[in-house]
Amino acid sequence: MKRSLMILALCTAFGLSAQAAERPKVVILGFDGVDANLTQKWMDEGQLPNLSRLAQEGSFSPMRVTIPSQTPVSWSTFSTGLSPGRHTIIDFLRRDPKTYQPSFGFVREDEAPFLWGDKTPFIVGFAGLVVVALLVLLLLKLFRVRTGRAGLVGLVLGLAAAVGLYVAADRLLPKTRPLAVNLQQGDTFWKVLGDAGVRVKVVRMPVTFPPKAYPHGHLMSGMGTPDLSGRIGKPFYFTSELFFTPKNGGDFSIEVVELFDNRGKITTEIKGPPNKLFPGGNPYITLPMTLDVAEDRSHLDIDVSGNQLSLEPGQWSDWVRFTFPFNDVIKLHGIGRFRLMSLDPEVRLYLSPIQFDPTELPPIIDITTPSEWAPNLADRFGLFKTIGWSIDTWSLTDGTIDEGVFMEDVKYTTQLDENIFYGLLEDDDWDVLMYYFEFTDRVQHMMYRFIDPEHPLYTEDGAAKWGDTIRQAYVDMDRIVGEAMKRKPQGSDLVVASDHGFASFRYGVNYNTWLVKNGFMTLEGQGDRKSLEDLFDHGEFLTNVDWAHTKAYALGLGQIYINLAGREGQGVVQPEEYDQVVADIKHGLESYVDPSNGEHPVAYVFTRDEAYGDTYDPNHVPDMVPANNVGYRVGWQDSLGGFGQDVIEPNTRIWSGDHCSVYPPLVPGIFFSTLKIEHRMPYMADVMPTLLALYGVEPPVRLDGESLLAPGS
């Protein structure tokens, strides 16, 4: 605050406005999932010299994260300074209390009229009639044709144009268009600072799709930005392997395409975006693709969407542009990369999720604000990934790529982001620059089994080959921090933060199964298995539940809802019974013992008042948030409203590290800064009031965090 007051005083003395004075500059680096304990360990070992120097010259502390310790929840608190109950992002999923069905937790899919909706053909046709009639009338008048005859000719031609335009508009233009609605509530720090004249650039911050415009700012949306299929990320796997089935039952929506042969010319297709613009037609827009296997199996030629390329086994393609035609007028443009896995004995071809081409975005989709920033960035830095979940974790989980290919994608994606970050860092048109990197989180999710000998998938050979990948990700983070320290403007400050830490995911806890076994839930038959495909295709969840005899259910990554009468669609728990049901479940889960090892899988069960304080919507937030001990996480099927066979199941999936339902004090994030801050553990909500205090800006509402600036700074 002292610095801000000094600037204002100097401005007044010299007759200048505050906006004309040189403002402080702040660079904020957000690294997803960086764990405070691992960071401290590797700093002590000398592995992270730049972070060590930053800690010595400034400050370092573990970061207190939100309840639950999830990426969209924690970063939303970071962005808004509000608790989850106030910004309303409480999980990756949110449920409809009337139907018990889940949907995506921070972006709602809606629709809006395209142009004038059902009236569009009539309006286009009428406009054509008027324009043609007037043009004909004008032309005939110029040639001194009698007015009556000119009017008749103009009317006839206008009617013909109207009919033609009506038919064309009815056939070629949709009546509705998809509409994405960002569900995060509260003003972000970049919006509040922008309103005060501070220039803020934000890149890839989670829960920013679709991006909202704000003064003096530029933003590229992050987690939540879909691919062309409307998914978090749907990769493709083209294979001639007979009877290939993904690992884990294909829970992660890999598009597997079986090829009819493994040699010569092979015709296939790419299943593109769902046809939501023209219901009743083909459900998906597809592209034909021809593969030609060389006779000596040395390479594969690919012909698709006007592209001809040739790949050798083990080779990645450059960016490939795809054009998906809904009709002759409406087309959707995407980009993706192929990687030829093998040709001998079988064809195995990987294609990344196809994402929006930043140079040819549809007029109804923005991934940046202002909208022209996306093509400007592409012109300056080349094509880049636009999808929010930019590193493909799904293919490794389902066994269509291996660890080597996954790490190639990690390296490529990180380099793309570094190029943009370093370029923006050298610009002089910002006061605050916030850049988010996801690679630290994704590597830990997939590779934790190689550093935990107690994990069911741990092997000594795997540890020898891949056990260093997590440490290397932290070293790469340290290198980026070092470059930021070297390249940032002189006198500027630097903040490095993460949203949570990490723990090994050895066992899944199936809360719905526990509820059934302990009399809080009743099934009519067997519960069904669910996948992300069901979620995005609006399938049915929590099937075969006898709601008349069910007191509670679990949904999302560790959320329990009471089947409360008057709130839930078929609620049976009366309001006067609510506290007792909560107490019984809380006691039962906290005292539950894993029969295989005698450990307590649940460290603590938060009630909604403990998790969300005094401000929340009781119809929206869960009634209870169970938090797991290290080694445990909510089970896979449980998170989608499915049912595991046992309460505790070994996690035999490659997704082997996690944090989402882990007791927050066990997975602290990190906070480094060159700012002079108070000696206390920062909370994710403290960053926004700290930035506002630095620039002398009053918060528009009461915030749930406090400024970290030390008195007098």
User: How confident is the model over 638-692, as pLDDT tens digits?
Assistant: 887 788 889 999 999 999 999 999 999 999 999 999 998 888 899 999 999 999 9
Amino acid at 345: P
Residue 127, both tokens: 């406009």
Gap between the Cα atoms of 605 and 585, Å rounded:
9
Assigned token pair, 305: 């969407």
Cα–Cα distance for residue pair 472/477, rounded to 1 Å: 9
Contact indicator for 203, 436 with CB cutoff of 8 Å? yes
Domain map of the chain by residue range?
Answer: 1-89+185-225+388-501+667-713, 115-173, 505-656
Query: CA geometry: angle at 138 spanning 137 and 142, to 5°?
Result: 115
d(CA 456, CA 596): 13
586 pairs with which residues across the strands? none
What's at 656, amino acid-wise?
S
Query: Quick one: how far is CA 256 from the chain centroid?
Result: 23
Question: What is the CATH code of the structural domain delimited by 1-89+185-225+388-501+667-713?
Answer: 3.40.720.10
List of E strands, 571-630 = 602-607, 624-628
* Most distant pair of Cα atoms in the chain: their distance: 101
Of 681, 699, 712, 670, the C-alpha closest to 40 is 670
Tokens of 466: 């891949």
Reading the block at residue 548, the tokens are 């008349």
Q: In terms of DSSP bridges, do strands 200-205 and 176-182 run parallel, antiparallel, or are they unpaired?
A: unpaired
Which residues have a Cβ under 8 Å from the Cβ of 106 and sit 6 or more positions away?
72, 76, 89, 92, 182, 183, 184, 207, 224
Q: Looking at domain 505-656, does it have CATH number 3.30.1360?
A: yes
Alpha carbon distance 393, 655 (integer Å) = 8
| Cα–Cα dist 456/654, whole Å | 10
All residue ranges of the chain with pLDDT < 50 are: 1-20
